[in-house]
Structure 1
Amino acid sequence: MGKDFYKTLGISRTANDDEIKKAYRKLALKYHPDKNKSAKAEERFKEVAEAYEVLSDKKKRDIFDQYGEDGLKHGIPGHSDASESGGFAYQFHGDPRATFAQFFGSSDPFSMFFGNDIEEIFMSDDGAPRGLFASMGFHTRAVQDPPIEHELYVTLEDINTGCHKKMQVSRIRQINGQQRKEIKLLNIEIKPGWKAGTKITFTKEGDERPNRIAADVVFIIRDKPHALFRREGSDIHYTARITLKQALCGVSVQVPTLEGATLSYCSNGEVLNPHSIKRFNERGLPFPKNPTHRGALCLSFEISFPKTIAQRLVKPLNDLLPNA
């Protein structure tokens, strides 16, 4: 199977001249051996040069479209020689640097940038074109500064009900060509059940600089440590401290809630161990995507073991307690 020059340039078979030039420009700069030291760069550099040579020439492209690489290089199938196909047979000259020099007007346009990263200067999709390369048709847009991120710690009570917060940010603004610092209040709506890591983005509220797009300001929700509860997703966990006697013989626990009320739990003689968990469904945090339903309030136990046992109790306990 012959070469597919369209695939080599990463373009469709209906690409126009500007699209062909843009594709060659991008790939030639990417794979130029003076800038790209990877093992396959030189071969790719040669491939894109040949593809451009063919597709940028209407006659070569027409023959390639109809008869493929074989017809382009060896004559149209069914004709005995090149003269019967108009005297045309094409062979790539083999010097991709010559193609590069003809296209860019120099065999080494990199040298004018004194070692700067060529992609940062004129090949970034977001970079502004400069000098010679602006005239070559680089259609790019201004760079946006990286997002400015702030962590916002929120109590479980606020996550439980949802809330609004006002955050003050300072930023630089361009006013009549002058840079001025201003303070702005951003209103943040925190919805019930939002998880830690949720991001709230205020578009282009960062500093303004010439030829740059202002950064987005991003607030990242974090759980504020709670005195009673620990959060796991939409569940909240409460740990009750009980004695070994209560774990074995029974205990009644009053379990607090985020709303301020209490729930009652009684073991009713059930033996509790450090891995026991009792769930109160629908008493946790709202589900973020369905706040009419909630996670669970999970009750676990921290059991206090006695430091010592009186010698007189060892035998009775040994007789009473099961071996397994």
Structure 2
Amino acid sequence: MSSKKKDYYEILGVPRNATKEEIKRAYRKLALQYHPDRNKSPEAEEKFKEISEAYAVLSDDEKRRLYDMYGHEGLSGRYTSEDIFRGADFEDIFRDFGFDFEDIFERFFGFKAKPRGIDLNYSLEVTLEDVAKGSYKDIEIYRRERCPSCSGSGGNLKLCPRCNGTGQEQYSRSYGFTRFYTITTCSLCRGRGKYIDDPCRTCNGNGSIKVAKRFKVKIPAGAYDGFVLRISGEGDYNPESNLYGNLYITLQMKPHPIFIRDGDDIIYNAKVSFPLAVLGGEIEVPTLDGKVKVKVPPGSQNKSTIRLKGKGIPHLDGYGSGDEIIKINVEIPKKVSRRAEELLKDLWYELREENEKLLK
């Protein structure tokens, strides 16, 4: 690593005493801005690599400690570029953007991610009240677990006679005085170096069995539609890597009967009578904490708003909340009594100057 490299904190735009959450937030914002699949400018790919390297270092306690003490030189003698990136957890960040984790590493960083477990995806329906206060939900999933009878091997294993345990087959062809060699994955053992001589009767040679499992899932306050929760190691078992994948739970918000969510604000459409809109007064409105009385200013116009500070959805970072926005919907009666009609005519005459201005 060159000593001429830019400061990692400067790259991410965070102070040197930034918390892990602040570093992660800064990286998420920049990664979304510079990911080459979204940003087609010539410098986007290089910038994406730069911010990813900075995040890989600053999100790891030991690498950050070395960097803070010795700078770039403190890392170059201990880690290769591949080691720097392998230690960081980019997976949940990239999944939020809809990008493939392994594809990103192969395309932009020149190496493949290590074999791992098989991820599971699950959709969970939640209400506005669930994300307003935070809640817990019980779910049941079916996942593949390591076979208890064969411990994931699939049965009795023997050294593959075709590749002699290398997992590869080599073919050669001669063209004149030149011989060409082709290396492919062994067709018998599929690259494992061993093959199943006697399949396990419990899993039929798969190495895994399907099992129902229940979870109590924590819904964080401030979560939104499409928010993804990750439960590490609770996905499907992969016999090839002897590892479990992750369980990804995507939240789906149910439409609310009276509130509309706008970011962390909530909108309530309040019906207000024409006289109340003109004269002002009080109305009772629902909030996420119960009903409250709100003053409607005299002369309130249709679609005007009243803002209740802090009565919306909590911010996901735990600091503060959005607002409740009350949208005034002035109701005009379709029919009125003769007495009311006479009073309205008197009012029209009384306010004729204002009415004439409106008609101009």
Structure with larger Rg: 1
TM-score with structure 2 length normalisation?
0.45
Question: Relative contact order (C-alpha < 8 Å, sep 6+): which is higher?
Answer: 2
